[in-house]
Structure 1
Amino acid sequence: MMKKLVFAGIALVVTGNVMAQDLKSSAVPSVVKTALEKKYPEAAKVSWEKEKGNYEANWGGKSGEDNSVVFTPSGTFVEIVKAIAVSDLPKNIAPYVAAHYKGARIKEAGRVTDAAGKTMYEAEIKGGDLIFDENGSFLKKD
């Protein structure tokens, strides 16, 4: 019995490091929470994740993730991703995905605005996010 418990604990630790880590609000630096409140006072029922060393706040919509905002540990705004309908992506993104990712289906889409005000688009497919510029030209896979 003890061996099973130890193995389950190890599996949990190993898999937990691969994905975003859910955080309690108390684990988020106050400077980050204050930055969110100042920039997005409408944010309510916020859930937090730690990803790639930064803090991600999610809120809104049925899934609670219509808005996804990233801040550095010092509270500097990085970007916001607002969920949009897949049909609202620039018209050249779906044909690009069909041509370059055979059989892939765009599951979710988002409009990304970075700290400089630059707009990009995110198309989520199985295996990652595809990032496109404001005109729908492919930039990279995340």
Structure 2
Amino acid sequence: MKTQITLISTALTLICIATFAQDIHPSEVPSIVVNNFKKEFPRASDIEWELDGNNYKVDFEIGWGTDHETWYDTAGNMLKHEEEIPKSNLPNEVIFKINSDFKDLRIDGSKKITQGTEVTYQVELENLIEEWKVIFSSTGEVLHKIED
């Protein structure tokens, strides 16, 4: 329950902050943040920085269009990383839960979200009538779902 409340609170905070995020030039990003980003993602391309509240958000791609979003604090610590992944990279437990609880829906997109040591998966599920964004734990537990 604490994880769900934390996850929901974090999601709402990011949504509110994202409303006020603004694009910035790479020269406006502290060097510690840029250096840590380059160490972590040396093959990043199509890099775009935003000031997101007091944190720095970077949108980028790796390889042939794999989208990533990462947030850093002013000290250069990575706060969160979101990576688009193919459904074949979802844990078996998540696939099992989708097949049992959402069997009338198909996977339209998925992301792996790492925040500290916690890994969750956001999956967009849809059919002709409905669309859902569902956040799963790595063990397949539904942490949050919202009709899209």
What TM-score comes out, normalization by structure 1 length?
A: 0.61
Q: CA deviation at 1:105?
A: 7.9
2:33 alignment partner, SS class: helix
Higher RCO (C-alpha under 8 Å, 6+ residues apart)? 2
When residues 134 and 56 of structure 1 are mapped into structure 2, their CA distance, relative to the original with a 3 A threshold, is: same
Aligned residues with identical type, % of pairs:
26
Superposed displacement of residue 76, structure 1: 0.6
2:25 is aligned to 24
Residues 50, 93 of structure 1: alpha-carbon distance in 2 compared, 3 angstrom cutoff: farther
Residue 66 of structure 1 aligns to a residue whose secondary structure is strand
Higher strand share: 2
> Shift in Å at residue 129 of structure 1?
5.7
Match among 113, 137, 140 for residue 136 of structure 1: 140
8 Å Cα contact 2:68/2:82 also seen in 1 = yes
CA spacing shift, 1:97–1:66, aligned 2, 3 Å:
farther
Contact 1:69 1:78 in 2 (8 A): yes
Change (3 A) 1:124 1:82: same
Equivalent position of 2:67 in the other structure: 66
Q: Tell me, which stretches of 5 or more residues in structure 1 are unaligned?
A: 1-16
Q: Give the drift of 1:97.
A: 8.1
Tell me which amino acid in the other structure corresponds to 2:123: A
- Alignment map for 1:116-135 (pairs within 5 Å): 116=117, 118-124=118-124, 130-135=134-139
Aligned length: 122
Q: CA deviation at 1:44?
A: 2.6
The CA RMSD over aligned residues, in Å, is: 3.6
With normalisation by structure 2, the TM-score equals 0.59
Structure 2: runs of 5+ lacking an equivalent: 1-17, 126-131
Which has the higher Rg, Structure 1 or Structure 2? 1
Superposed CA deviations along residues 78-107 of structure 1, whole A, max 9, x for unmatched, are 1222211346442156468859xxxx9865
Match in the other structure for 1:75:
76
Q: Using a 3 Å threshold, how does the CA distance of structure 1 residues 105 and 55 change in structure 2: closer, same or farther? A: farther
